Amino acid sequence: MAENSRSGGTAQAADGGARTTPASLSARARDAVLQRIVDRRYEQGARLVEREVAEELSMSRVPVREALRALVAEGLLELLPHSGVRVRRLERADVEHLYEVWEPLTIQATRLAARAAADDSEGLAALEATLRQAERAAAEDEGPREVAAHTAFHEGVVAMSGNPLLTRTMEQLSWQLRLVFGMREEPAHMRAQHAEMFRHIAAGDVEAAAASTLLHVRDSRTVALRSLFGND
């Protein structure tokens, strides 16, 4: 691979198109490894070998090495002495800390979304679409698709909030939430709670939307702890 221009900016290919930079390759590798952790192709406790991951992703080892280091720093992987890294096992405290942070943020996102609903028909349509996607996935017993739809619902609520700082903060929790959502059972009443949240947001009822979100987050925490650790 040719080196980037030393004069700064994005390196250009011979035909004038932008080359893929080392940073973008590392980001792609990070996202690919993260997705494999979330969908459990890489199970908790699994040892990841840099060379094997690079081969699987059809990449060189340098961006994969950088991606693995980044995920160690983010707490999703942990170093093994003299033998690479492994997928970090979630502890009960990890899940409890995640929900302690997520609860107030997602309630505030729901409040803001309800306030904005009258002027955001596109956002409401996107939210409603995620509810339909979750129902179809559940009917077809497609767990990963259902998890993706539930995650998209919460991300859609944040998008409707119109608060860029809240959006950036929630993005930092995104992969941890996806990981927990993907590992827990998904009972039907959780889908019903999303539908109730949507109704209150669409009606612009700020307090009812916040109350339904609080109930949902508390139930989600209980389900997650029971699914992962056998109790709540």
pLDDT of 5 over the 70 cut: no
Residues 114 and 67 placed together within one structural domain of the fold = no
- Give the tens place of pLDDT for each residue, 46-65: 999 999 999 999 999 999 99
Q: Is residue 190 part of a domain?
A: yes
User: Among 175, 188, 61, which Cα is nearest to 131's?
Assistant: 188
| Residue 226 pLDDT > 70 | yes
Same domain membership, residue 187 and residue 107: yes
- Residue among 183, 189, 210, 174 nearest 134 (CA): 189
CATH of residue 134: 1.20.120.530
Contacts of 78 (CB under 8 A, 6+ apart): 72, 85, 86, 88
Same domain, 103 and 80: no
Are the C-beta atoms of 99 and 107 separated by less than 8 Å?
no
Mean pLDDT of 189-209: 96
**Same domain as 80, residue 102:** no
> Which of 178, 211, 177 has the alpha carbon at shortest distance from 193?
211
* pLDDT at residue 66 tops 50: yes
Eight-state DSSP code of residue 43: -
- Specify the residue for token string 């992969």: 175
Residues 6+ apart with CB under 8 A from 112: 160, 161, 162, 163, 166
Q: Which of 68, 87, 106 is the last residue of a domain?
A: 87
| 114 and 82 housed in the same domain | no
Q: Does one domain contain both 199 and 175? A: yes
Which range of residues forms the domain containing residue 79?
22-87
For the entire predicted model, the pTM comes to 0.79
Query: What CATH number has the domain bearing residue 83?
Result: 1.10.10.10
132 & 106 share domain: yes
Query: Band of the pLDDT at 18, cuts 50, 70, 90?
Result: very low
Q: Which of 87, 104, 127 is at the close of a domain?
A: 87
Asked if the structure places residue 184 within a domain, the reply is: yes
Give the whole-angstrom CA distance, residue 100 versus residue 114.
Answer: 22
Structure letter (DSSP) for residue 230: S
- Is 134 part of a structural domain of the chain? yes
**Same domain? 112 vs 214:** yes
Buried/exposed 110-123: b ≥16 CB within 10 Å, e otherwise: bbbbbbbbeebeeb
Q: Between 184 and 107, whose confidence is greater?
A: 107
Examine residue 13 and state whether it is found in any structural domain, yes or no: no
Shared domain for 154 and 206, answered yes or no, is yes
**Domain shared by 40 and 112, yes or no:** no
Higher pLDDT: 148 or 1? It is 148
Type of residue numbered 93? A
Give me the mean pLDDT over the 98-108 stretch. 97
Query: 10 and 18 in contact (C-beta within 8 Å)?
Result: yes
Confidence (pLDDT) at 211: 98
81 and 102 share one domain: no
Indicate the number of domains in the chain. 2
Same domain assignment for residues 72 and 106: no
CA 61, chain centre distance (Å) = 25
